[in-house]
Chain A
């Protein structure tokens, strides 16, 4: 039993490492996405990128290196258009591009500041923060950011990030879409996903 589970775990790691895409179409019977840390309810008709379940790639020294996280990444039309991404980070992995950690009990405004700095250092240095407010998410004190940036062809993208930290880790749910036509279309869908976020009581501690 244990051997086969380990083999399965290894297989999943190899799958993730090889990045062979595995997609699941969300239907009425498969709406809940669950992992060790949290669950969310996904909208039907969207595609769940299962191969992104544990990997979060960070560009370091010119190469993409994986962080191991709990993650649910979904899109309706393709990542070039829109996506919703829910991730749990260990405290020490929360802000990898500025080499800072999330600290238990941090003020939401402080966490927001580090999140913004991290995102800018990750490559979105020409982004504008159009809103930065405190918000209760999944029963915790967190923050919500609205960010805008333009790609090289002048297409503006809008992004919402809802995030908080608790004793089990640092959580971020993100929605991004082009401002033209797409962003308003699925914004309510995004907020329903955020509202459905449940942190598991047995989730491992934030400090690994």
Chain B
């Protein structure tokens, strides 16, 4: 009796999940949202409010305008409906809410190389919005969870495949639509697969299975290969926009390094600044951040690399105070008090009111008094 009842329930719920959902055609369509769809918009608006209230938005008007401009070039008919924000988050991620809010993590933005790669990610995210993937996922999750409430155990098996986040099929759909938009807007399609190389490299360097965001996505390699074959089918050429991208993102790329280091996330810093080609795109003081990453990693041989980086920063950017402090503290710990005092004094001259000057003064005075610590 029970088995037949459950089978009937499963059939009903499965049919409910298959209701067809039409993609948005333009901004005008967003005014026609009603019924069940309205609820995902309500939740999206609440999420917008929480993000704004808790100060998670990275304030860089020029960079934000730049990202919005690229998005509007990709989806001109959705101008006004899709709004791009940069988040302070350091992880490599971006997401689109069902109401058209697109959030781009600082960590991912700082890791990209050019405008075409930026457009790849923006194109993909907006495709989720245009094709109402958030709503589709919610509807199918609802059916599954209602079923799960009746029969615990089987519910878990169903839940494991797609309850939170998007499914493999929806990700593939977004990659394809995003790619079409990328090409239509005149970008070089060969940059698209490189975005996944960047993501895969980060995953590898962090040594994690796959970050949450991508664990619900088809494997990165799979997606990279798909985009590679799509790009190969296209004629060569298209906009890459590297100089513009690097210019607009100059400040935030430094902020991302500082943020990563403040969280002890040195692997990402090493990935970027350890690459000579990328290091060139940073100002000379970036050697200091590289030194900090070596210090945080603290592997065999890192001390020498760290000292070399600090010295490079100090000589090529003599007015950059942090490099002076870093060398001062390093020499103090090695009991080379002469050099330590020289650099710490240099730091205090350059940045007498720095927030951490209290430590530096204490270390300097202690050395002068002869206690050494």
Which residues of A are interface residues toward B (Cβ below 8 A)? 98, 100, 107-109, 114, 116-118, 120-121, 125-126, 129, 131-134, 143, 149-154
Contacting pair A126 B56 (CB below 8 A): yes
- B358 / chain A contacts, CB cutoff of 8 Å: 132-134
Contacting pair A109 B88 (CB below 8 A): no
Q: How far, in whole Å, are A38 and B373 apart by their CA atoms in the complex?
A: 26
Q: How far, in whole Å, are A149 and B50 apart by their CA atoms in the complex?
A: 13
Contacting pair B355 A125 (CB below 8 A): no
Q: How far, in whole Å, are A36 and B130 apart by their CA atoms in the complex?
A: 61
Chain B contacts with A in 17-59, Cβ cutoff 8 A: 49-50, 53-56
Instruction: With both chains docked as a complex, state the minimum distance between the C-beta of A48 and any C-beta of chain B, in angstroms.
Output: 31
* Residue ID in chain A nearest B51 by CB atoms: A152
Number of A-B contacts (CB under 8 A): 58
User: Among the listed A114, A116, A126, which residue makes an inter-chain contact with B88, where contact means beta carbons less than 8 Å apart?
Assistant: A126
Interface centre among B50, B333, B359, by most chain A C-beta atoms within 10 angstroms, is: B359
* Residue ID in chain A nearest B356 by CB atoms: A132
Size category, B interface: 20 to 34
User: Among the listed B53, B355, B373, which residue makes an inter-chain contact with A152, where contact means beta carbons less than 8 Å apart?
Assistant: B53
- A107 / chain B contacts, CB cutoff of 8 Å: 329, 333, 359, 363, 373
Secondary structure class of chain A's binding surface, majority of residues: mixed
- B362 / chain A contacts, CB cutoff of 8 Å: 134
User: Among the listed A108, A134, A153, which residue makes an inter-chain contact with B53, where contact means beta carbons less than 8 Å apart?
Assistant: A153
Q: How far, in whole Å, are A152 and B46 apart by their CA atoms in the complex?
A: 10
Contacting pair A114 B56 (CB below 8 A): no
B89 interfacial by beta-carbon distance below 8 Å: yes
- A152 / chain B contacts, CB cutoff of 8 Å: 49-50, 53-54
Q: How far, in whole Å, are A85 and B117 apart by their CA atoms in the complex?
A: 47
* Residue ID in chain B nearest A155 by CB atoms: B53
B233 interfacial by beta-carbon distance below 8 Å: no
B262 interfacial by beta-carbon distance below 8 Å: yes
User: Among the listed B88, B333, B359, which residue makes an inter-chain contact with A133, where contact means beta carbons less than 8 Å apart?
Assistant: B359
Contacting pair B50 A125 (CB below 8 A): no
Q: How far, in whole Å, are A154 and B55 apart by their CA atoms in the complex?
A: 8
* Residue ID in chain B nearest A120 by CB atoms: B263
Complex A-B: 6 CB contacts under 8 Å: A98-B263, A107-B363, A114-B264, A132-B358, A133-B356, A153-B50
- A143 / chain B contacts, CB cutoff of 8 Å: 359
Q: How far, in whole Å, are A133 and B359 apart by their CA atoms in the complex?
A: 6
B99 interfacial by beta-carbon distance below 8 Å: no
- A150 / chain B contacts, CB cutoff of 8 Å: 53-55
Interface centre among B264, B329, B356, by most chain A C-beta atoms within 10 angstroms, is: B264
User: Among the listed B55, B89, B262, B356, which residue makes an inter-chain contact with A109, where contact means beta carbons less than 8 Å apart?
Assistant: B356
Q: How far, in whole Å, are A107 and B358 apart by their CA atoms in the complex?
A: 13
* Residue ID in chain A nearest B90 by CB atoms: A125
Instruction: With both chains docked as a complex, state the minimum distance between the C-beta of B364 and any C-beta of chain A, in angstroms.
Output: 12
Q: How far, in whole Å, are A150 and B88 apart by their CA atoms in the complex?
A: 14
Q: Which 6 pairs from chain A and chain B are nearest by CB? A: A154-B53, A117-B264, A152-B50, A133-B358, A109-B359, A98-B264
Instruction: With both chains docked as a complex, state the minimum distance between the C-beta of B71 and any C-beta of chain A, in angstroms.
Output: 24
Instruction: With both chains docked as a complex, state the minimum distance between the C-beta of A185 and any C-beta of chain B, in angstroms.
Output: 23
Contacting pair A100 B264 (CB below 8 A): yes
Q: Mark B343-373, 1 if CB is under 8 A from A, else 0.
A: 0000000000001101100110000000001
Contacting pair A154 B329 (CB below 8 A): no
- A132 / chain B contacts, CB cutoff of 8 Å: 355-356, 358-359
- B359 / chain A contacts, CB cutoff of 8 Å: 107-109, 132-134, 143
User: Among the listed B54, B329, B333, B373, which residue makes an inter-chain contact with A126, where contact means beta carbons less than 8 Å apart?
Assistant: B54
